[in-house]
Amino acid sequence: MIRFLTVTVLALLTACSGPKTAGTPKADVTTEGWYAETVTRLQEGNRQAEEALRRGDRDGAGKLIVESEKAGQRLLEAPRPTLAATLAVSDTDNLHAKMLLANKHYGWARLILQKDAARWQHWMPATEESKRRLLAAQKSMAEVDRKLVSGR
């Protein structure tokens, strides 16, 4: 009985302690210099990977895409990534999906395209570009689905 009363009193005291303060808000990393530099590097990496694909250098493109994905992950860790960062990450994902499709890894390509579609479906505020990208991702997923069904 004493144990029950002790637990009850402690629960009441804890409940009455008032709201917890969040402390100091975290800084907006999107305003820091490294963020903009990383976006620029990611965009350049995407251009180089696209060029490598056009030249037929799939290994070089693959290496650039892997490096770009690491930078993209860091950019998207921000609570509210910038549109430029999100566009660059989306471009990296689309290059990666293109490489996977060329190698007939349809399931993995679809997963990446599905992630990209979700990104644009939930982009706020919706813009013409976000709507265009969502539609493109949905069309690409439909193409992958056809390939999955046909086995080609």
Give domain status of residue 145, yes or no.
yes
Give domain status of residue 14, yes or no.
no
Local structure of 115: helix, strand or coil: helix
Q: What is the pLDDT of residue 82?
A: 95
Give domain status of residue 86, yes or no.
yes
Q: Which domain holds residue 96?
A: 33-150
Structurally, the chain folds into a number of domains equal to: 1
Per-residue pLDDT of the chain (152 residues; tens, 9 = 90+): 666 556 555 555 555 555 555 556 678 899 999 999 999 999 999 999 999 999 999 999 999 999 999 999 999 999 999 999 999 999 999 999 999 998 899 999 999 999 999 999 999 999 999 999 999 999 999 999 998 888 76
Give domain status of residue 21, yes or no.
no
d(CA 145, CA 11): 54
Q: Token digits for 26?
A: 């975290």
Give domain status of residue 82, yes or no.
yes
Contact between 112 and 93 under an 8 Å Cβ cutoff? The reply is yes
Does pTM top 0.75 for this prediction? yes
Please give the single-letter amino acid code of residue 110. R
